[in-house]
């Protein structure tokens, strides 16, 4: 009897701790439904190439190198990566790729990085600067300052990994005094992240010219 009990105990131990061979392991593939949901399964992407191709029709008008010849800003405060639409003296659409490598995320906030709203407005102002600094009476590379902002609304947080698509329209341009009025908004994944009714920008090259004339 004791021998039988000992044999059963040995068999039970062997069964409990014997690993399952690779061929015996059940492998359940991840379905597109699990990733995209039932409603979107038919429209699910077939991979990285298909996702990358979604922006194939978006052409770069001004590259980062081109922008550096127009704006005086440099890292870490150059907030426009490229311009993809441009109407001289009127409007522009620009792209800002938000990454965790940007220094403001160290403190804003350590456990929940969010792009500061004031930097979103600054990015819109820089995009407006790209338009204005190529207008009649302007001087590419000139420094410019905010004179005021009205009607700013933030709609959703902008976080690392987001692509901020910005659009500005120049409402007024006074080449004598170097003052521009513009409206702007920015989107993430097709939804408005920030919008402003008006911003006023003063360009320093006109201030210098007026000082020289007097």
Active-site residue identified among 73, 104, 108, 214:
108
At 94, is the secondary structure helix, strand, or coil? strand
CB of 153 closer than 8 Å to CB of 87: no
CA separation for the pair 68, 78 (Å, rounded): 9
Is the peptide bond between 126 and the residue preceding it cis, with omega within 30 degrees of 0? no
Longest dimension (CA), the chain: 117
Nearest Cα to 199, choosing from 158, 159, 162, 144? 144
CA separation for the pair 38, 179 (Å, rounded): 53
The two beta strands, 191-203 and 153-154, are antiparallel
The yes-or-no answer on residue 73 being catalytic is: no
Q: What are phi and psi of 131, to 5 degrees?
A: -70, -50
Indicate which residues carry an active-site annotation.
Answer: 108
């Amino acid at each position: 009897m004791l021998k039988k009990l000992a044999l059963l105990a040995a068999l039970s131990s062997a069964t409990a701790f014997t690993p399952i061979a690779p061929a015996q392991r059940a492998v359940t593939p991840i379905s597109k439904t699990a990733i995209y949901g039932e409603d979107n399964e038919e429209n699910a992407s077939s991979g990285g190439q298909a996702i990358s191709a979604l922006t194939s029709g978006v052409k770069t008008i001004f590259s980062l190198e081109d922008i550096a010849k127009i704006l005086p800003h440099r890292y870490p405060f150059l907030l426009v990566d490229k311009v993809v639409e441009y109407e001289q003296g009127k409007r522009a659409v620009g792209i800002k790729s938000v990454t965790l490598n940007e220094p403001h995320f160290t403190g804003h906030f350590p456990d929940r990085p969010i792009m500061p709203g004031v930097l979103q407005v600054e990015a819109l102002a820089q995009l407006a600067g790209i338009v204005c600094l190529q207008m009649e009476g302007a001087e590419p590379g000139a420094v410019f300052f905010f004179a005021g902002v009205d009607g700013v609304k933030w709609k959703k947080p902008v976080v690392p990994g987001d692509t901020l698509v910005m659009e500005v329209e120049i409402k007024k341009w006074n080449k004598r005094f170097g003052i521009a009025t513009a409206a702007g908004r920015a989107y993430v994944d097709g939804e408005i992240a920030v919008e402003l009714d008006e911003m006023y920008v003063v360009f320093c090259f006109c201030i210098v010219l007026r000082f020289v004339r007097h």
